[in-house]
Amino acid sequence: MKVRSLVVLLVLSGSVALAASMSVQVQKSKVRATPSQLGRAVATVEYGDMVQAGQEQNGWYPVTTADGIKGWLHESVLSEKQIAMRAGVTDTAVGVSNDEVALAGKGFNEQVEAKLKADGTLDFTWVDRMAAYNVDPEEILTFRSQGHLPGGDQ
């Protein structure tokens, strides 16, 4: 097993106690310098990206990205399954079971949404407008500080 060999190698090298490959299961996320959603962003990861993750600590994994950048990702971002991004890659073709690989876009997906739009069943205009309301951590920090909200542990 690739993962097991990697773990053995890392343990032997003495650099990390435990590490495993994990996949990013959300559209986009930021690797943080500290284990906090409001921590400084050091890298961006996207759906299906693989990272090397160490031992989870209070819901946070220390990770190393494919580019070698180290930081932290919350457990809600990561999946133990590998996420296959390309259409046409079957579970059997990569030689592992469904338990280890999830195919991105499988099931309820953009194609299904597009059909509902085309049929005139649902209008997503306002859903898209709503999804465009994004707030970055800097704004949150300012909002919290102006509103006299104490530091607050995550």
Helices of type H across the chain? 2-13, 110-118, 125-131, 137-146
Nearest to 51 by CA among 34, 151, 60: 60
Does the protein bind other proteins through residue 98 (CB under 8 A)? yes
Minimum distance from CB of 4 to other proteins (Å)? 24
Dihedral (CA of 33, 37, 43, 49) sign: positive
Is position 88 an interface residue for other proteins (rule: CB under 8 A)?
yes
**Type of residue numbered 29:** S
Binding of other proteins at residue 123 (CB under 8 A)? yes
Query: Is 103 one of the binding residues for other proteins (CB under 8 A)?
Result: yes
Q: Which of residues 7-66 bind other proteins (CB under 8 A)?
A: 25-27, 29, 37-38, 47, 59
- # binding residues, other proteins (CB under 8 A): 59
Applying CB under 8 A, does 154 fall inside the site for other proteins? yes
Q: What is the 3-state secondary structure (H, E, C) of 111-141?
A: HHHHHHHHCCCCCCHHHHHHHCCCCCHHHHH
d(CA 84, CA 44): 19
By CB under 8 A, name the binding residues for other proteins.
Answer: 25-27, 29, 37-38, 47, 59, 74, 76-77, 87-93, 98, 102-113, 115-116, 121-124, 126-127, 129-131, 133-135, 137, 139-140, 143-144, 146-154
